[in-house]
Structure 1
Amino acid sequence: MSRQRRVVVTGIGLATPIGIGAEAYWEALLQKKRGIRAIESFDPSQMAARIGGALPPHNMADYIPKTYRKNNKVMSDDTRIAVVCAHQAALNAGLNTACLIARGEAKGGSNVDPTGFGANIGAGLICADLPELAGALSTAADPATGRFSHARWGREGMTNLTPLWLLKFLPNMLACHVTIVHDAQAPSNTITCGEASSHLAIGEAFRTIARGAADVVICGGAESKMNPMALARPLLFGWLNTADNDRPHHACRPFASDGAGMVASEGGGLAILESLDHARRRGARIYAEVVGFGAAANTHDWRSPDPSGSPVRLAIEAALKDAGVGPAALGLAVPFGCAVPAFDASESLGWRDACGSRLEQVRAVATKGLIGVNGAGSGAIDFATAVLALYRNTVPPSANTHRTHDGCPFRFVQGDPVDANAEYAVTTAFALSGSQTAALVVRKFEE
Structure 2
Amino acid sequence: MDKRRVVVTGMGTVNPLGSRVDELWKNIKAGKSGIGPLTKFDISEYPAKIAGEIKNFDPSDLLDRKEVRSMADFSQYAVYAAVQAMAEAGLGPQGEGGYDPEQSGVYLGNGIGGFEVVEENLEKLFERGPRAVAPLTIPKLIANEAAGNIAMKYGIKGPCHTTVTACASGTDAIGEAFHAIKHGIVDMAVTGGTEGAITKLAVAGFCRIQALSTAYNDTPELACRPFDANRDGFVLGEGAGILVLEELEHAKARGANILGEIVGYGMTCDAFHLTAPDPEGSGAARAMRAAIREAGLSPEDIDYINAHGTSTQANDVMETRAIKSVFKDHAKQLKVSSTKSMTSHLVAAAGAVEAIISLLAIRDSYFPCTLNLTNADPECDLDYVPNVGQNGKIRYALSESLGFGGHNGALVFTGYES
Question: How far did 1:413 drift?
Answer: 2.6
Q: Name the CA shift for 1:116/1:410 in 2 (closer, same or farther; >3 Å).
A: farther
Q: Deviations for 1:10-67, whole angstroms, at most 9, x for unmatched residues?
A: 1111111011111110001111122110111111111111100111213222222x4x
Kindly indicate whether the alpha-carbon contact (under 8 Å) linking 2:396 and 2:412 is maintained by their aligned counterparts in 1: yes
Q: Name the CA shift for 1:276/1:111 in 2 (closer, same or farther; >3 Å).
A: closer
Kindly indicate whether the alpha-carbon contact (under 8 Å) linking 2:98 and 2:254 is maintained by their aligned counterparts in 1: no
Q: Deviations for 1:167-206, whole angstroms, at most 9, x for unmatched residues?
A: 1110001101111112211212001110010111001000
The reply to whether residue 76 of structure 1 matches residue 72 of structure 2 is yes
Distance 1:415 1:264 in 2: 21
| Aligned position for 1:358 | 330
| Aligned position for 2:192 | 220
The one-letter amino acid paired with 2:71 is M
| Aligned position for 1:125 | 112
The reply to whether residue 204 of structure 1 matches residue 190 of structure 2 is no
For residues 405-424 of structure 1, the aligned pairs below 5 Å read 405-414=377-386, 416-424=388-396
Kindly indicate whether the alpha-carbon contact (under 8 Å) linking 2:121 and 2:137 is maintained by their aligned counterparts in 1: no
Kindly indicate whether the alpha-carbon contact (under 8 Å) linking 2:371 and 2:388 is maintained by their aligned counterparts in 1: no
Question: How far did 1:416 drift?
Answer: 4.7
Kindly indicate whether the alpha-carbon contact (under 8 Å) linking 1:117 and 1:184 is maintained by their aligned counterparts in 2: yes
| Aligned position for 2:350 | 378
Q: Deviations for 1:239-269, whole angstroms, at most 9, x for unmatched residues?
A: 1011211010001111111111011111120
The one-letter amino acid paired with 2:167 is E
Q: 2:273 aligns with which of 297, 301, 304?
A: 301
Kindly indicate whether the alpha-carbon contact (under 8 Å) linking 1:389 and 1:420 is maintained by their aligned counterparts in 2: no
The reply to whether residue 314 of structure 1 matches residue 314 of structure 2 is no
The one-letter amino acid paired with 1:57 is N
Q: Normalising by structure 2, report the TM-score.
A: 0.96
The answer for unaligned runs of 5 or more in structure 2 is none
| Aligned position for 1:437 | 408
Q: Name the CA shift for 1:408/1:97 in 2 (closer, same or farther; >3 Å).
A: farther
Q: 1:349 aligns with which of 321, 324, 328?
A: 321
Distance 1:435 1:304 in 2: 7
Question: How far did 1:409 drift?
Answer: 4.4
Distance 1:405 1:348 in 2: 11
Question: How far did 1:8 drift?
Answer: 0.6
| Aligned position for 2:93 | 97
SS, match of residue 20 in structure 1: coil
| Aligned position for 1:7 | 6
| Aligned position for 1:182 | 154
| Aligned position for 1:152 | none
Mark the structure with the bigger radius of gyration: 1
Distance 2:155 2:227 in 1: 42
Q: Deviations for 1:184-236, whole angstroms, at most 9, x for unmatched residues?
A: 11212001110010111001000100111111101110102211111122111
SS, match of residue 331 in structure 2: helix
Q: 1:135 aligns with which of 124, 129, 145?
A: 124
| Aligned position for 1:148 | none
The one-letter amino acid paired with 2:262 is V
Kindly indicate whether the alpha-carbon contact (under 8 Å) linking 1:223 and 1:266 is maintained by their aligned counterparts in 2: yes
Kindly indicate whether the alpha-carbon contact (under 8 Å) linking 1:329 and 1:424 is maintained by their aligned counterparts in 2: yes
SS, match of residue 333 in structure 1: strand
The one-letter amino acid paired with 1:81 is Y
The one-letter amino acid paired with 2:414 is R
SS, match of residue 116 in structure 2: coil
| Aligned position for 2:103 | 116
For residues 396-407 of structure 1, the aligned pairs below 5 Å read 396-407=368-379
Q: Deviations for 1:389-446, whole angstroms, at most 9, x for unmatched residues?
A: 1112212222112322123243233455322312111111011x21211111111211
The one-letter amino acid paired with 2:10 is G
For residues 144-293 of structure 1, the aligned pairs below 5 Å read 157-293=129-265
Q: Deviations for 1:123-181, whole angstroms, at most 9, x for unmatched residues?
A: 11121343443122124xxxxxxxxxxxxxxxxx3221022211111000110111111
| Aligned position for 1:150 | none
Stretch deviating more after TM superposition (411-420 or 380-389):
411-420
Kindly indicate whether the alpha-carbon contact (under 8 Å) linking 2:82 and 2:242 is maintained by their aligned counterparts in 1: yes
Cα root mean square deviation, aligned: 1.6
Kindly indicate whether the alpha-carbon contact (under 8 Å) linking 2:92 and 2:154 is maintained by their aligned counterparts in 1: no
Q: Name the CA shift for 1:314/1:373 in 2 (closer, same or farther; >3 Å).
A: same
Number of aligned positions between the proteins: 416
Question: How far did 1:98 drift?
Answer: 4.9
Distance 1:30 1:90 in 2: 25
The one-letter amino acid paired with 1:136 is L
Distance 1:346 1:135 in 2: 43
Stretch deviating more after TM superposition (18-27 or 409-418):
409-418
The one-letter amino acid paired with 1:13 is G
Kindly indicate whether the alpha-carbon contact (under 8 Å) linking 2:372 and 2:387 is maintained by their aligned counterparts in 1: no
| Aligned position for 1:29 | 28
Distance 1:62 1:176 in 2: 21
Distance 1:302 1:113 in 2: 41
The one-letter amino acid paired with 1:70 is K
Question: How far did 1:87 drift?
Answer: 0.8
Q: Deviations for 1:70-91, whole angstroms, at most 9, x for unmatched residues?
A: 1321211111110111011112
The one-letter amino acid paired with 2:116 is A
Distance 1:76 1:195 in 2: 19
Moved over 6 A (4+): none
Distance 1:95 1:356 in 2: 43
Q: Name the CA shift for 1:70/1:294 in 2 (closer, same or farther; >3 Å).
A: same
Distance 1:16 1:419 in 2: 24
